[in-house]
Amino acid sequence: MQINLFDEKKRLVQKLDYDFDSIMENAETQSGDAFSNAEQLIEQAIIELGDYEISPSSSNIVKYLKTYAAFGYANEPLAISVKKRNEGNATMKDFSSTTFEEIIHFPNEEFQDRYNRLVGLDDLKSLIQKEGATIMAPEMLQKWSNKHHNKMIKALEAFSDRYPFFIFEGDVGTGKTEFAMTFGSELARFTNQEIVLARMSMKSRGNGVVGEMSKLITKSFQDASKIAATTKKPVIVLLDEADSLAQSREENQMHHEDRAGVNALIQGIDHIRSSDIPILVVFCTNRLGAIDPAIKRRAALVHTFSRPNLEQRYEVFKKYFDDIALTSRELAILAQITGENEIYRYGFTYSDLLTRVIPLSILYAYPDKPVTFDIIEQVIQSIKPSAPFVEQSQKGGNDLG
């Protein structure tokens, strides 16, 4: 797959060659949407070239990748707009290439669209909007108290004791990472301010050198504080697969370096609690039981993301197939057959529905016929729902080969 980089005057500045299959394989090993992950891998590779950074106008990467995946080729190279790095203003990019995988500014139209596509989560969206606002814009809570009680009520003092820290836990494919990546855009709109999302790099595990992991974790929190101080904007620090860094220190075989890393995480969470500009830390994990108890105790909110229930699956199908004249009965059947049954004691995940069932339904019909209920039903019957994540210790039995 060829990528052509163009400057702001539409001049070709560099040609790059990448293997499409390798990019997608790497993207699929990460949680979340594979095409969005692939976009991030490509953008990171361009940033690491050192000379250029992606222009905000480059929003065609995911569309190009989907077209390439559908046909197995592309008639034209992928064109990406870039601009020369300004060394005098490279602070944010420097953060992104070291302690953070990416830095995103909200509100953001792309991430707002992704957030809006998370259907069936209205109660959670309302809760996180309120919880997030108490951290990122505490003055809103004060205004509410003055408006409805004509004073600052004592109950508000309880909020000062809470840590600005959420944990999103749940099975693979239930939408926790996508929600964590996108809710900041809606929160920025609700609080009427710009918010920065800094996604912590898994490079924070270091290379096994004694003391390296704890230093990298400490630097991540320090850099988050620097971003807040530099931009004067609240910051969301996101750590996906948090159990890989925050595992319990009670594990008998835990390496000393891992214990030091957990201590650094605790100290970092404690430190940002007193930040002049609000910083919210969000952990995502599918192994809540593996998280150190001292870290879990600090969470102001722990939310479990479950597989979509019958009503939520109905809403997914209604949203994406609303314009092809499916009846309410047909939508109800699709919702029913993607739930648990005699063969599988678990239903389809959000990821199963959005990245497998719906795209394959389109491809089954393309290019000779319209999408119909029968085609969607056929696709569902050909797919196995993703199995729940089960830790090795929970599998039981004597696996002696």
* Sequence ranges of the chain with CATH classification 3.40.50.300: 100-305
Q: How far, in Å, are 53, 135, 172, 185, 304 from residue 285 at the CA level? A: 31, 22, 9, 21, 10
The CATH code belonging to domain 100-305 is: 3.40.50.300
Return the closest-CA partner of residue 357 out of 324, 311, 389, 313.
313
Write down the pLDDT at residue 397.
41
For the chain of 401 residues, list the mean pLDDT of each consecutive stretch of 10.
84 86 80 76 71 63 86 86 58 60 92 92 93 94 95 92 94 92 96 94 53 78 89 94 74 61 89 90 91 93 94 94 93 96 90 94 95 96 87 43 32
With H, G, I as helix, E, B as strand and everything else as coil, classify residue 280.
Answer: strand
The CA angle 282-287-293, to the nearest 5 degrees, is 70
Write down the pLDDT at residue 208.
47
- On whether the CB atoms of residues 22 and 71 are closer than 8 A, the answer is no
CA 289 to chain centroid: 21
Write down the pLDDT at residue 25.
85
Write down the pLDDT at residue 89.
41
Write down the pLDDT at residue 400.
32
- CA dist., res. 23 & res. 1, Å (int): 10
Write down the pLDDT at residue 131.
95
